[in-house]
Amino acid sequence: MGKPNIVILGAGYGGLMTAVKLEKMLPAHKATVTLVNKYDYHYQTTWLHEIAAGTLHHDRARIPVKDVINMEKTRFIVDNVIAIKPDEKTIKLESGELSYDILVIALGVEPATYGIPGLDDYAFTIETVNNARLLKEHLEYNFAKYHHEDEKNKGRLNIVVGGGVSGVEYLGELTNRIPDLCDEYDIHKTMIRVINIEQSSTVLPDFDPQLAKYAMSSLESRGVEFITGARLKECKPDHVIYEKAGKHETIPTYTTVWTGGVRTNSIAVNSGFTHNQGEIDICDDMRVSGFEDVFAIDECTGVTEKESDKLYPLTANMAIQQSDIVVHNVKALIQGEEEFTAYKPKRSGTVVSLGHTDATGTILNNRKLFGWKAVMLKKLIDNYYLLRLGGFNQLMRKGKFNIFY
Amino acid sequence: MGKPNIVILGAGYGGLMTAVKLEKMLPAHKATVTLVNKYDYHYQTTWLHEIAAGTLHHDRARIPVKDVINMEKTRFIVDNVIAIKPDEKTIKLESGELSYDILVIALGVEPATYGIPGLDDYAFTIETVNNARLLKEHLEYNFAKYHHEDEKNKGRLNIVVGGGVSGVEYLGELTNRIPDLCDEYDIHKTMIRVINIEQSSTVLPDFDPQLAKYAMSSLESRGVEFITGARLKECKPDHVIYEKAGKHETIPTYTTVWTGGVRTNSIAVNSGFTHNQGEIDICDDMRVSGFEDVFAIDECTGVTEKESDKLYPLTANMAIQQSDIVVHNVKALIQGEEEFTAYKPKRSGTVVSLGHTDATGTILNNRKLFGWKAVMLKKLIDNYYLLRLGGFNQLMRKGKFNIFY
């Protein structure tokens, strides 16, 4: 193969970890590695709900790619991917074309709005730093507007959040922030409404019922109103319509936050790979079905648990596990080996944050955690990732060490 | 007269100082004093441009009325004044009526937009805490929006400021803030445009030309573009149109700040008093022409310098001078004295702030000040006011002591 060109698309958890490990595992003369990313920074997706609520500064959640990648070993391009052409082995970028010998697709997900009218145009999402920061500013702007208008508009103080795990995490942070927001803009706490619209009969329907109940109680005690068994029907700039038990109801609000669904990045899906429910079909060795030299990693892929036939939750932890396999198999491919390592997902527990001081989740043996123990575990997981990604330096710079806040 | 009802409308510089001094000068059994204000706080109008730029928190610029007024001596009502009926000696408030024996009108000014289309609806002003805070949020919101939109919109980064002394002071603060804003929202400094549209051939046309030139150089060195000899013609949500030398030009901008004019509060003007160019006519003793028992103070009044026939600049300092006279004459009125003291304005110099580290102005003998000396003088004036208003406590709490920032 000579000196092959390895191209990694995306510097999320999976893509960046792959690049970092390739640097360590592959001698420079064995391959050229190029990393392409939309921004010059990587960001902690799992912290975005904190940025959106305004409880964490966005710079804490992002890491300049140049701080973890050796620019002399790895070529780094900041650009948008327009199309992947696996037949021609090229990538179309906004500013040109790139050819590859081995491709790693790590483009992640984008919000899915399932055709619900108005969500694309008027709802806020929290899947990028830019979106999360805008939501924070939007809320502050509406709180500031409230006392500026002679005719008081309650819609500015109503916040509607739609579904999902990240919705629950956002609610946790938001309710922590609201007392400060009220102080800042001279608004009495009782005038704020935070409403969660959830399709199931409970939040976190895929979790143990005890955990879900704990999460709801914790959030209710901080003023969240839950409307369960309801579906968002339409979103407008100044109100939202939902359906419950066949009846349509309207809530005046300028802030609808859509956290109810994601789908695989559409560029990855529309590149001629076979896919399953929108997720790219991959083999056990993390290669895309039917392609010898294309790997997919991270949220691009759907990994089904064999026993339950359910999709594994897409966690940062899983992306890191996968990057080990991808790096191992990329190396095997370059060296012409016949044996590839298969990816066997290991469940490692999940923790859902409920603001800075509360959380709930399960660990390895399905043991349930509540409150400060879960908060500690969540911080431990985050710090462990930072350590693996950027070593001691990044851990010190961006880690979360205050267990009381 | 028995125990007369004294009603003061407005807790700006003039109204609040009058209330504070009446508390000290009038024994409680001699009169009942009622202070009416729209908010439960007084604010430093002269600091609003800092709030609007985001360089000073709004809580630094406001003082709860209860912190400087003895609530057991003075009755304090938070309400909007709807109308003044001098013939019936009553005040219509939003929540009821109030009768008075002696009235002090200190309702200040409101922005005047001279019928320029769109200014009332789309331009920002900085004459209240709520307006200034909204402008700050608006700018941050637009900077946050910039990277959120795929199609980049330069209008979000263009800021157009129209005329006046407070426009110049806002420009000074804003240019100090812009480097931080750029950092915060990942925007390169060269992409920001700050444009001042000024009707005259220079900013600060009523000041000494040397001062005006100094102010322009200082602001230009920080990136402000001046368009002089131009008039705002129309303001829309996403652009502004001005006329220069007979030609109409358009600037795309979401942020037009109108600082080009104020007029006396319209409720005060429309209450049957005679007025001159919109300012209530007052006698030398600060009483409204033709009314024995109505005083007007502060920006409600127009005081003309006899030698030059020019209006005096409306400064906080002048309001404080006036309050001395008002308090003295209110006391004389209650005691049935025939002699009233006449108000003789004393020029005491004016300083125009150009951001935290620069200023220019004149002092008593028309000596000109530039740079840090002017900054110091400005802070000294502010601190002196705080000391007179709320004593040592307020000075310590809200004063400006850092001469380097």
The proportion of chain B whose per-residue pLDDT surpasses 90, expressed as a percent, equals 61
Catalytic residue among A50, A127, A169, A198: A169
CB–CB of B134 and A145 under 8 A? yes
For residue B51, CA distances in Å to A146, B129, B307 come to 17, 8, 37
Q: What is the pLDDT of residues A12-50, one digit of tens each?
A: 999 999 999 999 888 878 899 999 999 999 998 889 999
CB–CB of B137 and A134 under 8 A? no
The parent domain of residue B230 ranges over: 119-260
Judge if ipTM > 0.85.
Answer: no
Instruction: Give me the residue from B130, B134, B148 closest to A131, CB to CB.
Output: B148
> Among B218, B298, B267, which Cα is nearest to B15's?
B298
Q: Is residue B388 part of a domain?
A: no
Task: Select from B208, B229, B260 the last residue of a domain.
Answer: B260
CB–CB of A140 and B138 under 8 A? no
Cβ contacts of residue B193 below 8 Å, gap of 6+?
Answer: B154, B157, B158, B159, B225
Q: What is the pLDDT of residues A305-317, one digit of tens each?
A: 666 666 666 677 7
**Residue in A closest to B125 by C-alpha:** A148
Co-location of A197 and A309 in the same domain: no
- Asked whether residue B57 carries a pLDDT value surpassing 70, the answer given is yes
CB–CB of A131 and B147 under 8 A? no
- Asked whether residue B37 carries a pLDDT value surpassing 60, the answer given is yes
CB–CB of A148 and B137 under 8 A? no
Q: What is the pLDDT of residues B163-177, one digit of tens each?
A: 889 999 999 999 999
Phi and psi torsions of A267, nearest 5°: -65, -40
Q: For B43-56, what is the mean pLDDT?
A: 92
Q: For B215-219, what is the mean pLDDT?
A: 95
CB–CB of B133 and A144 under 8 A? yes
- Residue A115: CB atoms within 10 A of its CB come to 7
Q: Is residue B164 part of a domain?
A: yes
Residue A373 pLDDT: 80
Phi and psi torsions of B42, nearest 5°: -95, 150
CB–CB of A134 and B148 under 8 A? yes
The overall average pLDDT reported for chain B is 89
Residue B5 pLDDT: 95
Q: Best residue in A186, A187, A188 to probe B by mutation, most B CBs within 10 Å? A: A186
- Which pairing describes strands B230-236 and B239-244: parallel, antiparallel, or unpaired? antiparallel
Chain B residues lying within 8 Å of A185, measured CB to CB? 133
Residue A36 pLDDT: 97
- Asked whether residue A169 carries a pLDDT value surpassing 60, the answer given is yes
Q: For B207-235, what is the mean pLDDT?
A: 95
Co-location of A131 and A234 in the same domain: yes
Co-location of B223 and B268 in the same domain: no
**Residue in B closest to A125 by C-alpha:** B148
- Asked whether residue A304 carries a pLDDT value surpassing 70, the answer given is no
Residue A246, Ramachandran bin (φ over 0: left; ψ between -120 and 50: alpha; else beta): left
CB–CB of A137 and B138 under 8 A? no
Q: Is residue B324 part of a domain?
A: yes
The overall average pLDDT reported for chain A is 89
- Asked whether residue B318 carries a pLDDT value surpassing 90, the answer given is no
**Residue in B closest to A148 by C-alpha:** B130
Co-location of A131 and A174 in the same domain: yes
Q: Is residue A45 part of a domain?
A: no
B138 touches chain A (CB under 8 A): yes
Q: What is the pLDDT of residues B90-124, one digit of tens each?
A: 999 999 999 999 999 999 888 899 999 999 999 99
Separation of alpha carbons B115 and B124, rounded Å:
15
Which CATH number does the domain housing residue B34 bear? 3.50.50.60
- Asked whether residue A400 carries a pLDDT value surpassing 90, the answer given is no
- Which pairing describes strands A359-363 and A350-353: parallel, antiparallel, or unpaired? antiparallel
Task: Map residue B309 onto helix, strand or coil.
Answer: coil
Q: Is residue B245 part of a domain?
A: yes
Of these ranges, A24-28, B232-236, B294-298, B372-376, the one predicted with the greatest mean pLDDT is: B232-236
Question: How many angstroms separate the CA of residue A272 from the nearest CA in chain B?
Answer: 25
Instruction: Give me the residue from B136, B141, B148 closest to A130, CB to CB.
Output: B148
The proportion of chain A whose per-residue pLDDT surpasses 90, expressed as a percent, equals 61
Q: What is the pLDDT of residues A253-279, one digit of tens each?
A: 999 999 988 888 888 888 888 877 777
Q: What residues pair up with A287 in beta bridges, in sequence order?
A: A295
The answer to whether A331 and A25 are in contact (CB under 8 A) is yes
Chain B residues lying within 8 Å of A51, measured CB to CB? none
A88 touches chain B (CB under 8 A): no
A141 touches chain B (CB under 8 A): yes
> Among A77, A11, A10, which Cα is nearest to A42's?
A11
Q: Is residue A153 part of a domain?
A: yes
Phi and psi torsions of B28, nearest 5°: -60, -30
Q: Is residue B18 part of a domain?
A: yes
- Asked whether residue B403 carries a pLDDT value surpassing 60, the answer given is no
> Among A9, A39, A187, which Cα is nearest to A104's?
A9
Question: How many angstroms separate the CA of residue B384 from the nearest CA in chain A?
Answer: 27
Task: Select from A306, A339, A372 the last residue of a domain.
Answer: A339
Instruction: Identify the weakest region by mean pLDDT among A130-144, A262-276, B172-186, B325-339.
Output: A262-276
Co-location of A167 and A218 in the same domain: yes
Question: How many angstroms separate the CA of residue B301 from the nearest CA in chain A?
Answer: 26
CB–CB of B141 and A138 under 8 A? yes
B137 touches chain A (CB under 8 A): yes
Separation of alpha carbons B258 and B131, rounded Å:
11
Residue B312 pLDDT: 65
Chain A, chain B: beta-carbon pairs less than 8 Å apart: 39
Chain A residues lying within 8 Å of B131, measured CB to CB? 148
Co-location of A123 and A227 in the same domain: yes
Task: Select from B221, B244, B260 the last residue of a domain.
Answer: B260
Separation of alpha carbons A384 and A19, rounded Å:
18
Co-location of A31 and A104 in the same domain: yes
Q: Best residue in A57, A147, A181 to probe B by mutation, most B CBs within 10 Å? A: A147
B40 touches chain A (CB under 8 A): no
At A399, the pLDDT band (50, 70, 90 cuts) reads confident
Co-location of A90 and A214 in the same domain: no
**Residue in B closest to A128 by C-alpha:** B148
CA-based R_g, chain A, Å: 22
Q: Is residue A354 part of a domain?
A: no
* Residues 155 through 214 of chain A touching chain B, CB cutoff 8 Å: 185
Please say if A169 is a catalytic residue: yes
Question: How many angstroms separate the CA of residue A230 from the nearest CA in chain B?
Answer: 30
Instruction: Give me the residue from A130, A137, A185 closest to B141, CB to CB.
Output: A137
- Asked whether residue B51 carries a pLDDT value surpassing 80, the answer given is yes
Residue A363 pLDDT: 79
Chain B residues lying within 8 Å of A147, measured CB to CB? 130
Instruction: Identify the weakest region by mean pLDDT among A328-337, A394-403, B26-35, B117-126.
Output: A394-403
Phi and psi torsions of B205, nearest 5°: -60, -20
- Asked whether residue B197 carries a pLDDT value surpassing 90, the answer given is yes
**Residue in A closest to B148 by C-alpha:** A130
CB–CB of B144 and A131 under 8 A? no
CB–CB of A134 and B140 under 8 A? no
The proportion of chain B whose per-residue pLDDT surpasses 70, expressed as a percent, equals 95
For residue B54, CA distances in Å to B135, B139, B170, B239 come to 9, 9, 10, 23
Chain B residues lying within 8 Å of A130, measured CB to CB? 144, 147-148
Q: Strands (DSSP E) along A220-366, which ranges?
A: 224-228, 230-236, 239-244, 247-252, 255-258, 262-264, 275-276, 279-280, 294-296, 350-353, 359-363
Residue A299 pLDDT: 75
- Asked whether residue B357 carries a pLDDT value surpassing 90, the answer given is no
Q: What is the pLDDT of residues A365-384, one digit of tens each?
A: 778 888 888 887 888 788 87
CB–CB of A185 and B133 under 8 A? yes
Token pair 């150089």 in the structure block, residue: B217
Co-location of A133 and A248 in the same domain: yes
Question: How many angstroms separate the CA of residue A397 from the nearest CA in chain B?
Answer: 18
Co-location of B251 and B204 in the same domain: yes
The proportion of chain A whose per-residue pLDDT surpasses 70, expressed as a percent, equals 95
Report long-range pairs for B348-353 (Cβ below 8 Å, ≥24 apart). Answer: B348/B315, B348/B317, B349/B377, B350/B207, B350/B313, B350/B315, B351/B377, B351/B378, B351/B381, B352/B165, B352/B168, B352/B169, B352/B204, B352/B207, B352/B211, B352/B215, B353/B49, B353/B169, B353/B172, B353/B173, B353/B378
CB–CB of A148 and B141 under 8 A? no
Catalytic residue among B169, B198, B279, B299: B169
Co-location of B135 and B245 in the same domain: yes
The answer to whether A156 and A143 are in contact (CB under 8 A) is yes
Rounded to 10 degrees, the C-alpha dihedral B120/B123/B128/B133 comes to 140
Instruction: Identify the weakest region by mean pLDDT among B3-12, B333-342, B366-375.
Output: B366-375
Report the number of distinct structural domains present in chain A: 2
Residue B278 pLDDT: 74
Q: What residues pair up with B294 in beta bridges, in sequence order?
A: B103
**Residue in A closest to B80 by C-alpha:** A150
Question: How many angstroms separate the CA of residue A53 from the nearest CA in chain B?
Answer: 14
Phi and psi torsions of A160, nearest 5°: -110, 125
Co-location of A215 and A163 in the same domain: yes
